[in-house]
């Protein structure tokens, strides 16, 4: 599906609540499936990836009842396996395009004596799973795979071994997979990361009855097993990664003034806010409450004519990895060079995002350079009409839509329907904010 975007004819104005957080939604569904009893989940992101996780836990014989949907997302009742554990299905479990579903399921299944095969679409089948399989194998699970990629058959351990894992990756998916396997191990299972990753798992597990040991200064967390999850009612806040694209649009479209409500302000997810503020963006964040054990608040973004380029360091990247495409687009409006370092992880996302960003910005007329793990964008740049391909990547599709708002001609985005992965109503929400401006 192709969508054509044009230059903004007016400012973005108003207040919006973007969909529920994707990372938290995945974990809420998986943890509720592991728990004994019935959990009511509200605000769960209604997207292709999260529905893949819902279908996966159903295939493993958790009960999921969809009670309704509103602007915040889905309301679900999830009755978990409890002490009996997941039931191996007759056929493979389809993880679609969701790397989170696949990697977290590998960790979950590694702790149960079951044999389950995970498959995915063509894109997911090219993405690496070995980074999760290595520590899980050390805990006693065995795997059969296509060179560390899907399809993967996991044979869980009847008595998994507790593990201290010194992770070479700043990856919340690796960390979560190890901790999920550790729920069934006797002793302390822990992970140390050189660069801290998002901590939704550590924040959410105590709500489901499992204490988590943490030393943030040392980049270490762990849990004592065996441990069982108990049902818990949880509300999912709005996704900062989705909010970022509307924030970026407001910053670069003259006259814009936009509020985004109930966004999780977890510091492991708001690195993009800190970078934009450092660039001089008129972006304010107000913390007002907690939702689902997460700090939440309102982001207010207003158009900013004078921004400057900055250096985004490797240490910052785990807290903004999903927002690099958007930050690269905003960098086109800033004076000077913006350099991103330590972003090799972008090469193994839904697409090779690093290459795709450089290629797309180049087609728009931007001076851009890339290396194995770095990217440089020169600004300010006058953006031109172009035909761009999302490569089936939701973050790229939204980034090209934002870029089009200041381009001198139409920007065609091929495979626009990739946005269904995280923000199906992005186009409608963006159009509504322009309409709100026109009514003023």
Catalytic residues: 322
Q: In what order do the strands lie in the sheet with 411-414?
A: 3-5, 411-414, 386-389
- The residue count of the chain comes to 440
Q: Which residues pair with 112 in a beta bridge?
A: none
Helix (H, G, I), strand (E, B) or coil at 197: coil
* 247 neighbors 276 (Cβ within 8 angstroms): yes
Identify the helix (H) or strand (E) that includes residue 339: strand 336-341
* 312 neighbors 327 (Cβ within 8 angstroms): yes
C-alpha to C-alpha distance for 205 and 363, rounded to whole angstroms: 45
Helix (H, G, I), strand (E, B) or coil at 34: helix
Residue 159 DSSP symbol: S
Helix runs in 67-207, H state only:
99-110, 130-138, 172-182, 200-204
| CA nearest neighbour of 274 among 303, 227, 316, 333 | 316
* 315 neighbors 323 (Cβ within 8 angstroms): no
Instruction: Spell 142-159 as b/e; 16+ CB within 10 A means b.
Output: ebebeeebbbbebbbbee
C-alpha to C-alpha distance for 93 and 340, rounded to whole angstroms: 37
Which two three-digit tokens encode residue 131? 């980074």
Which two three-digit tokens encode residue 35? 């728990």
Which residues make Cβ contacts (< 8 Å) with residue 112, sequence separation at least 6? Answer: 85, 86, 156, 184
């Amino acid at each position: 599906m192709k969508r054509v975007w044009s230059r903004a004819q007016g400012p973005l104005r108003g207040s919006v609540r973007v969909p529920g957080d994707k990372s938290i939604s995945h974990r809420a569904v998986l943890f509720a499936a592991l728990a004994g009893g019935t959990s009511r989940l509200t605000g769960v992101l209604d997207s292709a990836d999260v529905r893949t996780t819902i279908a996966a836990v159903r295939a493993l014989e958790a009960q999921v009842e969809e009670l309704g949907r509103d602007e915040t997302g889905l309301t679900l009742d999830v009755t978990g396996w409890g002490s009996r554990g997941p039931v191996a299905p007759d056929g493979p479990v389809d993880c679609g395009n969701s790397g989170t579903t696949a990697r977290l399921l590998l960790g979950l299944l590694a702790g149960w004596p079951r044999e389950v095969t995970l498959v995915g679409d063509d894109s997911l089948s090219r993405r690496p799973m070995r980074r999760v399989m290595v520590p899980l194998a050390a805990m006693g699970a065995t795997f059969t795979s296509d060179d560390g990629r899907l399809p993967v058959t996991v044979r869980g351990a009847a008595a998994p071994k507790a593990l201290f894992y010194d992770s070479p990756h700043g990856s919340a998916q690796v960390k979560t997979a190890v901790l999920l396997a550790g729920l069934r191990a006797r002793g302390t299972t822990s992970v140390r990361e050189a660069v801290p990753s998002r901590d939704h798992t550590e924040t959410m597990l105590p709500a489901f009855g499992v204490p988590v040991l943490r030393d943030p200064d040392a980049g270490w967390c762990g849990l004592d097993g065996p441990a069982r999850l108990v049902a818990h009612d949880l509300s999912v806040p709005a996704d900062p990664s989705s909010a970022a694209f509307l924030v970026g649009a407001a910053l670069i479209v003259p006259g814009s003034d936009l509020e985004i409500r109930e966004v999780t302000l977890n510091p492991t997810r708001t690195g993009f806010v800190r970078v934009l503020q450092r660039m001089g963006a008129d972006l304010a964040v107000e913390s007002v409450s907690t939702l689902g054990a997460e700090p939440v608040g309102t982001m207010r973004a207003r158009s900013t004519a004078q921004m400057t380029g900055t250096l985004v360091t490797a240490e910052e990247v785990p807290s903004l990895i999903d927002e690099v495409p958007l930050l690269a687009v905003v960098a086109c409006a800033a004076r000077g060079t913006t350099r991103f370092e330590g972003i090799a992880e972008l090469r193994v996302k839904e697409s090779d995002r690093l290459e795709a960003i450089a290629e797309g910005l180049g087609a728009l007329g931007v001076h851009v350079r890339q290396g194995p793990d770095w990217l440089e964008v020169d600004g300010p740049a006058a953006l031109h009409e172009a035909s761009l391909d999302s490569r089936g990547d939701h973050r790229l599709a939204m980034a090209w839509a934002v870029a089009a708002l200041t381009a001198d001609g139409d920007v065609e985005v091929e495979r626009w329907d990739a946005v269904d992965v995280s923000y199906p109503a992005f186009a409608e929400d963006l159009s509504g904010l322009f309409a709100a401006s026109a009514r003023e």
